[in-house]
Amino acid sequence: MNLITSVSGFLGLALIVTFCGAKPAEDTRILTMSKNCNAVDADTKIVLQYQVPSSDSGKCLMLCYLKELKMLDSNEKYSESLSLEAFKGFWTQYSADVLQEVNSKAAIFAKGIDSKSGTCDYGYEIMKFINAEFIRKSLLKTPSS
């Protein structure tokens, strides 16, 4: 895929997002991170629906997002303090208490899978957990919810 195709693909996704009434600021950040991570369009479309892609490329995209958001420490393990700052910067519409609760649960979860740190599966499992917590708290609406 060349740069022109990639850019027009992202612009097309941005237009779809705008017409579907999604949250533009959040979606713009998703598109930017996807571009920085050289994401496959199909994976980005899944993320824009507030879901976690399970393809091999999608799992690696989730690890890249964690890195882009600076949520991992120097050993590529989930950092509770760095992640809380990332949460506060990315999800500004939610209270600090809610973000702290989700982050604390994610940190506990991540400790259970430390042996996978730095792998695409690690990124996928953490992002899947965080996404499920946001959905459980009714903070994210997926097409099926």
In tens digits, what is the pLDDT along the chain, a chain of 145 residues? 433 344 444 444 443 333 334 456 778 889 999 999 999 999 999 999 989 999 999 999 999 999 999 999 999 999 999 999 999 988 888 899 999 999 999 999 999 999 899 999 999 999 999 999 998 987 776 555 4
Are the C-beta atoms of 35 and 14 separated by less than 8 Å? Answer: no
How is residue 78 annotated by DSSP?
Answer: B
When the candidates are 3.40.50.720, 3.30.70.100, 1.10.238.20, 1.10.10.10, the CATH number that belongs to 3-136 is 1.10.238.20
In angstroms, the CA 14 to CA 100 distance is 30
- Looking at residue 17, what is its pLDDT? 38
Are the C-beta atoms of 66 and 72 separated by less than 8 Å? Answer: yes
98 Rama class: left (phi>0) / alpha (psi -120 to 50) / beta:
alpha
Tokens 């999608």 belong to residue: 58
Residue among 142, 84, 135, 89 nearest 110 (CA):
84
Question: Helix 41-48 and helix 3-19: axis angle, to 10°?
Answer: 20
